[in-house]
Amino acid sequence: MDTAAWIPFRWPVAWNETGFDVLRGSPVNCIIFEESAPAGLRDIAKQKGFAIPDNVEFAPLGDQLWKSSKPVLAISNAIWPGIRATKKKADEAAEAGPTGAPWVNANGWTLQMAKALVPRKTLWLASEPPNDQILTAESYQLAAAEAGSRGARWIIRLDEKLAAGLLKGDTDARKTWERIGTSVNLFQRHAAWSTFDAVAPLAVISDFAGDNEFLGGEILNLADRRNLLYRIVPKSTCTALPRCCMWTRRPRNPPSRKRWPRSLGTGDLWWLPRSARRRALDRWSVRCPASCSTQAEKAKSRLLMGIGKIRTRSQPRLMP
């Protein structure tokens, strides 16, 4: 079976072989067992036609994932999507964080970055449902839809209450399970959606490695929250540019004058590292420069926003 067709399911620790009855008729065709799971469960799964993957790289975002030779990459530090609830005291009601507006946890930007950096890999999200929250069917559907809408798979994982309810044949648990399957099937029927490329006026350019990993990720995270239309352009593959670019690395010098200005046209918008400001202004005729900054806790990097005209001798070569 092609790895792209796998629909993974994390086998609950408390389940026995009765759990296969729960999976009957569901879209699940791939099971991930814990190392402590009895070997007999794996044998039964194989007999029933389930894939037991051994070529999946489970790792957090970073070089271990990007450099892996395995065909399937599972993002192990994915977060559970939804409004992040916090409690000041154990007996207080949950609230949505100290920033005023609700803080929404999401993995969309991580998947978009992964698709840009390793476009030929199958991507999985290993987000775990929190056991300290009341989870509805919609919570699980959101997890499935978040991954599916970005061309990835969510490793279906059940919280302890739902897993126990399904094993007992609880009616409400069964309805939740069916709704999870409905969401997964939607993206399975429209598998072509996963091949769609982002179409956006803003290009975020970086290698997302080393010192640029945190800054690049934070920019993508906040861009997603602001609903900005952006596409990710890995530095190693960048040959032409759209009209609006954000250069998310911290070089001592701005991009080479011999290469980059020839790709720019009148009225282009650029964000450059603060360290590159002086040389950029000296070498490029940037009109109306405006300073702006991002409060990145670790990166502590200021960005220059240059708006206006960049004079070049050649015709601009722009991305569509």
| 3-class DSSP string for the chain | CCHHHCCEEECCCCCCCCHHHHHCCCCCCEEECCCCCCHHHHHHHHHCCCECCCCEEEECCCHHHHCCCCCEEEECCCCCCEECCECCCCCCCCECCCCCCCCEECCHHHHHHHHHHCCCCEEEECCCCCCCCCCCHHHHHHHHHHHHHCCCEECECCCHHHHHHHHHCCHHHHHHHHHHHHHHHHHHHCHHHHHCCCCCCEEEEECCCCCHHHHHHHHHHHHHHCCCCEEEEEHHHCCCECCEEEECCCCCCCCCCCCCHHHCCCCCEEEEEHHHHHHHHHHCCCCCEEEEECCCCCCCCEEEEEECCCCCCCCCCECC
Greater confidence (19 vs 102) lies with 19
> pLDDT value at position 302?
36
- Same structural domain for residues 128 and 208? no
pLDDT band of residue 212 (cuts 50, 70, 90) is confident
Which of 140, 162, 195 marks a domain boundary? Answer: 195
Which of 176, 195, 214 marks a domain boundary? Answer: 195
Phi then psi for 290, rounded to 5 degrees?
Answer: -135, 135
Kindly state whether residue 313 falls inside one of the protein's structural domains.
Answer: no
Kindly state whether residue 263 falls inside one of the protein's structural domains.
Answer: yes
Query: Quick check: 127 pLDDT over 50?
Result: yes
Greater confidence (23 vs 213) lies with 23
Least confident of 141-145, 186-190, 223-227: 223-227
> pLDDT value at position 16?
94
- Same structural domain for residues 17 and 155? yes
Q: Which residues of 101-128 are buried (b: 16+ CB within 10 A; e: fewer)?
A: eeeeebbbbbbbbbbbbbeebbbbbbbe
- Same structural domain for residues 118 and 152? yes
> pLDDT value at position 133?
83
> pLDDT value at position 306?
37
Greater confidence (208 vs 268) lies with 208
Kindly state whether residue 315 falls inside one of the protein's structural domains.
Answer: no
- Same structural domain for residues 175 and 209? no
Kindly state whether residue 104 falls inside one of the protein's structural domains.
Answer: yes
Mean per-residue pLDDT, 224-241: 81
Kindly state whether residue 320 falls inside one of the protein's structural domains.
Answer: no
Query: Quick check: 9 pLDDT over 60?
Result: yes
Domain coverage including residue 268? 202-307
Total structural domains within the chain = 2
Average pLDDT, the chain: 78
Give the span between the Cα atoms of 154 and 23, in whole angstroms.
Answer: 16
pLDDT digits (tens, 9 = 90+) for 151-204: 999 999 999 999 999 999 999 999 999 999 999 999 999 988 888 888 888 888
* The length of the chain, given as a count of residues: 320
> Within 13 Å of residue 7, how many CA atoms lie on the same side as its CB?
19
- Same structural domain for residues 234 and 285? yes
Which of 142, 163, 195 marks a domain boundary? Answer: 195
Mean per-residue pLDDT, 294-320: 36
Full-model pTM: 0.76
pLDDT band of residue 257 (cuts 50, 70, 90) is very low
pLDDT digits (tens, 9 = 90+) for 67-81: 999 999 999 999 999
Kindly state whether residue 316 falls inside one of the protein's structural domains.
Answer: no
Kindly state whether residue 123 falls inside one of the protein's structural domains.
Answer: yes
- Same structural domain for residues 36 and 134? yes
> pLDDT value at position 12?
96
Query: Quick check: 93 pLDDT over 60?
Result: no
Kindly state whether residue 314 falls inside one of the protein's structural domains.
Answer: no
pLDDT digits (tens, 9 = 90+) for 26-69: 999 999 999 889 889 999 999 999 999 999 999 998 888 999 99
* Cβ–Cβ < 8 Å for 154, 190: no
> pLDDT value at position 308?
33
- Same structural domain for residues 191 and 206? no
Q: Is the dihedral of CA 90, 91, 96, 97 positive or negative?
A: negative
Task: Pick the most confident of 166-175, 244-253, 300-309.
Answer: 166-175
- Same structural domain for residues 169 and 292? no
Phi then psi for 73, rounded to 5 degrees?
Answer: -115, 125
pLDDT band of residue 276 (cuts 50, 70, 90) is low
> pLDDT value at position 115?
92
Greater confidence (187 vs 291) lies with 187
- Same structural domain for residues 175 and 223? no
- Same structural domain for residues 250 and 159? no
- Same structural domain for residues 23 and 98? yes
> At what angle are helices 212-225 and 108-117 packed, to 10 degrees?
130
Q: Which residues of 15-45 are buried (b: 16+ CB within 10 A; e: fewer)?
A: beeebbebbeebbbbbbbbeeebeeebeeeb
- Same structural domain for residues 47 and 186? yes
